[in-house]
């Protein structure tokens, strides 16, 4: 039985070499990556701008409503920061085209939400 195990490896047909498409992705993929990076940067900055005042602001020990609002604001800032980091990493990852398109759709929605109407 041992002589048959190696025989299968010797008679495999040759496969053509894998061709690499190139170092740079397609132009629309680069646009999607840039859009993910831009929206990610915007969300990271918004998250930081939401969290910093709650961390270094004056502490009102007597107002329970203000403390609850600070906690909600800090949580919202943290979620925005995490989403921004995820979009930035998605923009830097050479992923499949459908992943980049999905990230670009999220990034477009985020940028429309963050930009003021003209």
| Residues 59-88: tens digit of each pLDDT | 665 577 777 788 888 899 999 999 899 888
Our measurement of the distance from residue 31's CA atom to the centroid of its chain's CA atoms, rounded to an integer in Å, reads 15
Cβ-in-10-Å burial (0-12, 13-18, 19+) of 45 comes to middle
Whether the full predicted model's pTM is greater than 0.75, yes or no, is: no
**Structure confidence at residue 25 as a pLDDT band (50, 70, 90):** low
């Amino acid at each position: 039985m041992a002589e048959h195990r190696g025989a299968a490896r010797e008679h495999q047909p040759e496969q053509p070499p894998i061709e690499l498409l190139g170092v740079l992705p397609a132009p629309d993929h680069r646009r999607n990556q840039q859009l993910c990076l831009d929206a990610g940067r915007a969300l990271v900055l918004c998250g930081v701008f939401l969290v910093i005042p709650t961390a270094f602001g004056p502490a009102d020990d007597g107002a329970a409503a203000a403390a609850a609002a600070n906690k909600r604001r800090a949580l919202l800032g943290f979620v925005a920061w995490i989403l921004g980091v995820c979009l930035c990493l998605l923009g830097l990852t050479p992923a499949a085209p459908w992943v980049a398109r999905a990230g670009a759709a999220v990034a477009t929605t985020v940028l429309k939400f963050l930009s003021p109407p003209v």
